Structure 1
C-alpha cells in the first residue's frame, strides 16, 4: 500500500491547506496526475502523484490544514499484489478498493438524483450550494465534463456577487503571504548559513553576437534570450563543481541531477522560485521552452508540486535595464545562489587595449561550510569560459 504524504514545497513551508481532492476512492491514478489542490503561502499548488495504482482511501478532509509528511491518502499499487498484512488491515478497516457503486434510483429522491447526475467535484458542489447556484447552469471543463471549483467561481464572477469571500480580490493577501514566506526563509538563511560573496564581470559581446546570428532567421516565438545561455553555462560548469550543486543537511550532500531554481518576479510583488529540472541535459531550445511554460504559470500562481521540488541551486537574473549587480541570499538547504545583473556596455580592457564591450556582472553567494572562495572563484571562471564558446552550449 502506497502512503501518499503532504509534500514539502520548500524550506519555508511547514504545512498546507487541502482545498480540493481531484480524486475519489476507486479512481485509478498514474504518475504525474494532479490529485489535489493545496493552498500554501506561495498560492494554490497542484499536487501530483508519482505512483501508479488505485485510490483506496482519502484520509484528509477538504479544508484541513495538513503538516508536511502527513499521510493524506492510501493508494493500492498496480505493480505489486497486496501482502497478507495489508489485506488484514484493509479488512479490519472495511476499506473497499473497488469503485463505489452508484445508488439505485429507488434509494434517491428525484431532486437528489438529478443533482448527483451532474458531475462535479465536492468543493464545486459546496461553493455552489453556499451561493444558491444550481449546477445545471454551469458548464464543466473538468474530466468528462465535470464541474470544477474554477467553473463555479467563474460563473459567480460573471453572474452575481458571491455570498462568501471566495472570489474577493486576493492579490494583496497573496503578495503579503508570499513575501512573508520568502522573508522567513531568507531570515533563517542569514542566521544559519555563513555566506561568502564573489563577483566577476564577464564580457558577453561574443555571446550576444552569436545569439543574434542564431535568432536572425527564427520566428519571434522561437528566439532564444540571453538568460538561456546563462542557465546552460551554469549547468555545464556545475559538472566540474559538484559541491556547489548540493544541499546542506547534517553535512554536505552533492546532488546528481542539476535542477536550477529560477527566480520569477510576480507582477503583484514578491517572487516564486520554480525548478528547471536537469538543465544540463537540455539543449538551449528546450530550456527556452521550459521558461516559456513555467514563468507564466508562476506569475499566475498555477505551479505544480513538482515545479517547487528538488532545486539544487538557484539563479536570479535581473534582466535588461535592471541593476548592474544582484547579490542573492542562499535558499536553504541549498549551498549557493548565482546572480546575473543587467547586460550593459562598459569600457573593458583586453590584451592591453580598452574598448566598449557588452558585459554582465555575475555574483556567487556560497555557503562557507560547503565550499570556499577559491572554489567559488574557479566556478565563476568556468562560467566565463563557457560563455565565450556559446556554440558549444
Structure 2
C-alpha cells in the first residue's frame, strides 16, 4: 500500500483544495498520469502521480482543503518513487511553433488562438473547436469572448491577492533563512544578437528566436558545470539536482508570477528551448500548468526582457540555492581593443546561498555564461 499525498508546489504553498479527481477507485495508474486537479494560490494545477498501481481508496473528497503532505488517496501494488534511478530521457524535439500543439488530454489549438484565449482569460477546455480535427481556432475563441468592456473571467481558484500574500511569505522566509550573496557580470551581447539575426533572417515572425532562448541555453550549460548551484537545501544539507531543470519566472496578467521548470535545459537545442518557453508562458497565463513543472526547478532564472530594468537582484526561491537575474539589453559605451564604442550590454546577476556555495563558484558560473555568450555560434 502506498500513500498519494498532497504535493508541495513551492515554498509559497501550505495547503490546496481538491477540485477534481480524474481517477476512481479501481483505476490503474502509472507514473506521469494526471490524477487530480488542485487549487492553490497559483490557480488550478494538474497533479501528476509518480507511482504505479491500483487506486484502492480516495481519502480526500472533492472540495476538501488540506495541508501539504496530507494523504489524498491510497494505491495497492504501487511501484516506483518520486526520484527515478536514472535521469529521465531527453524529451523529443518540440514541434514547430506554427503547428497545432497536441498534448494527450488537452485540446488541439492554434498558437494564435491559444494566445488570444490567454489574453482574454478564457479556459480553452470549455471552447468547442471547429477547425481541422476539432482544433480550436481564433474564431472559436472570439465566439466565447466577453463583450467589449467586460472584465475577463478569472480561472476558478486564482486569487491575485492570495498569490501576492503567498509570494511575500515565501520571499520573507527566503531572506530570513538563506544567507544570500550577490555577484554581477556585465556582458557584451553583440555576438548573441548577431547570431539571432542570422538565424531569424529567413524565419516567419512566429518562429523567430528571442534573446531569452540564448540566455537560457548559455545559463543551462554553465549551471551544468557548477553543480553546487543546481539543487535544493533540504533537512539541513544540499541535495544536488538530478538534471538542470531551470525554472523560468513568468509574470501573470492580473498580478503574481510563477516559475515552471524546463527540464534538462542543458540538453535541449535552441529551437526546442524557444518552443518550450513559448509553451510555458501561454499555459502559465491560461492556468494550465502541471504539478511537476512547479515542483521540479533546481535553479530559477528571471529575465526582465526589453521592458524591464537594467538589472535585477533576485531573491532565492526556497528550497533552491541560487537564482539568476537577467536585465534588459541596453546600448552602453564599451572598450573593444582599446577603442571606445557603443555595444549592446546586459547585466547578469547571481544570488547564491552561502550554505551551499561561495562567491568563487558563483563567479565561475557568471564567467562561463559570459564566455558562452561571446561564443554564441556554439550554442
With the shorter chain as reference, the TM-score category is 0.7 to 0.9
The answer on whether the counterparts of 2:43 and 2:157 sit within 8 Å (CA) in structure 1 is: no
The answer on whether the counterparts of 2:19 and 2:62 sit within 8 Å (CA) in structure 1 is: yes
The answer on whether the counterparts of 1:238 and 1:245 sit within 8 Å (CA) in structure 2 is: yes
Residue 278 of structure 1, aligned match among 264, 271, 282: 264
User: Structure 1: 5+ residue runs without aligned partners?
Assistant: 81-138, 142-156, 159-166
Name 1:291's counterpart in structure 2.
Answer: 277
The answer on whether the counterparts of 2:8 and 2:69 sit within 8 Å (CA) in structure 1 is: yes
1:143-292 pair list within 5 angstroms: 174-249=159-234, 250-292=236-278
Q: Normalised by the size of structure 1, how large is the TM-score?
A: 0.75
Name 2:38's counterpart in structure 1.
Answer: 38
| CA drift at 1:140 | 11
Distance 1:320 1:172, change over 3 A: farther
1:339 aligns with 2:344: no
Q: 1:9, 1:18 → 2: CA distance?
A: 14
Distance 1:351 1:46, change over 3 A: same
Distance 1:77 1:173, change over 3 A: closer
Name 2:291's counterpart in structure 1.
Answer: 305
1:94-173 pair list within 5 angstroms: none
Q: Which moved more, 1:51-60 or 1:259-268?
A: 51-60
The answer on whether the counterparts of 1:42 and 1:181 sit within 8 Å (CA) in structure 2 is: no
Q: 2:361, 2:157 → 1: CA distance?
A: 42
Distance 1:168 1:350, change over 3 A: closer
Distance 1:26 1:274, change over 3 A: same
Secondary structure of the equivalent of 2:229?
A: coil
What is the alpha-carbon root mean square deviation over aligned residues?
Answer: 2.4
The answer on whether the counterparts of 1:224 and 1:285 sit within 8 Å (CA) in structure 2 is: yes
Distance 1:187 1:63, change over 3 A: same
The answer on whether the counterparts of 2:11 and 2:170 sit within 8 Å (CA) in structure 1 is: yes
Question: What is the CA deviation profile of residues 225-262 of structure 1, one whole-angstrom value per residue up to 9, with x for unaligned ones?
Answer: 11111111111111221111121221222223111111
Name 1:350's counterpart in structure 2.
Answer: 336
| CA drift at 1:342 | 0.4
Residue 377 of structure 1, aligned match among 363, 368, 374: 363
Distance 1:284 1:173, change over 3 A: closer
Q: 2:57, 2:242 → 1: CA distance?
A: 35
Question: What is the CA deviation profile of residues 259-297 of structure 1, one whole-angstrom value per residue up to 9, with x for unaligned ones?
Answer: 111100111111111111110111111111111211111
Secondary structure of the equivalent of 2:306?
A: coil
Name 1:322's counterpart in structure 2.
Answer: 308
Q: 2:20, 2:155 → 1: CA distance?
A: 18
The answer on whether the counterparts of 2:246 and 2:301 sit within 8 Å (CA) in structure 1 is: yes
Q: 1:193, 1:311 → 2: CA distance?
A: 18
Secondary structure of the equivalent of 2:307?
A: coil
Distance 1:140 1:288, change over 3 A: closer
Question: What is the CA deviation profile of residues 34-79 of structure 1, one whole-angstrom value per residue up to 9, with x for unaligned ones?
Answer: 2111111111111112233332211111111122222211223487
Q: 1:188, 1:140 → 2: CA distance?
A: 40
Q: 2:45, 2:298 → 1: CA distance?
A: 20
| CA drift at 1:374 | 2.0
| CA drift at 1:171 | 8.7
User: Structure 2: 5+ residue runs without aligned partners?
Assistant: 81-125, 129-143, 146-151
Q: 1:79, 1:346 → 2: CA distance?
A: 57
Q: Normalised by the size of structure 2, how large is the TM-score?
A: 0.78
The answer on whether the counterparts of 1:341 and 1:361 sit within 8 Å (CA) in structure 2 is: yes
Q: 1:69, 1:208 → 2: CA distance?
A: 46
Q: 1:204, 1:331 → 2: CA distance?
A: 27
